[in-house]
Structure 1
Amino acid sequence: MASKSNNGFLILNIVLIAVLLWMVGNWSYYKIRGKRLHGALTSAEFEKDMRKAQLIDIREKKDFKASHILGARNFPYTQIKTWQNELRHDMPIYLYETGENLSIRIALRLKKAGYADVKWLKGGYGEWEGKKTKKKTED
């Protein structure tokens, strides 16, 4: 009876380790791809030229409504197929989200679709140091 329990525990551990390795590998893959794109911008760099770019918040609507960078449009990453063709090819695209991995994934996809100048906020919205934000006010 104890060996069945031990086998189940061993299988569970193997599955958890495999999932953890996949997550770390996935994260590393997009970090490396992101560095090759040279698209990460610090808050200062992002804020300096964001008025000359298409500023896209790829977080979900509830996060955007709670707080966002002033002038950003909310195009959730889960709906990229519907909004991808609304972007202009002749203007830079500046992306941001909670972190960086989704921005890198979306940037790769947009580059593949022919958008030449795609950048993202290094570290995501949590690292934003700019003053131009809009926050939901309590009633």
Structure 2
Amino acid sequence: MKEITAKELAKKLKEEETLSIIDVREEDEVAQGKIPGTLHIALGQLPERLDEIDKDQQYFIVCRSGGRSGKACAFLSDQGYEVTNMVGGMLAWEDEVEK
């Protein structure tokens, strides 16, 4: 599984790279703040919301600490998606968030 650190992902955003990020945390967790521009799809909703995810794009997957995003990466990878897990999750995120 491909991985990226929170600092590396933040650097890509600061360099204004166009990134597709999916946050797989629950609604109440996302309400505390998410990475700006992130698509929220809770882990349990992924199977029924695959039509919202473009197979031609690379996605960075985020959760609270890296565990659920790892599971999401494994699932999406099995479905043919190109995904990268943000290790450490939002606990490691030190940059701006939107609420």
- Provide the TM-score with structure 2 as the length reference: 0.86
- The structure with the largest helix share of the pair is 1
Structural RMSD (CA): 1.5
Percent identity, aligned pairs only, is 23
Say yes or no: does 1:45 pair with 2:45.
no
- 2:78 counterpart residue number: 112
What runs of 5+ residues in structure 2 fail to find an aligned partner?
Answer: none
Cα shift readout 1:56-107 (whole Å, capped 9, x = no counterpart):
1100111111211111111000111121221011111111001112111111
Q: CA deviation at 1:120?
A: 1.8
- 1:91 counterpart residue number: 57
Q: CA deviation at 1:113?
A: 0.5
Name the count of aligned residue pairs.
96
- Provide the TM-score with structure 1 as the length reference: 0.63
- The structure with the largest strand share of the pair is 2
Q: Which of structures 1 and 2 has the bigger CA Rg?
A: 1
Aligned partners of 2:11, 2:92: CA distance in 1, in Å?
A: 15
3-state SS, counterpart of residue 134 of structure 1? coil
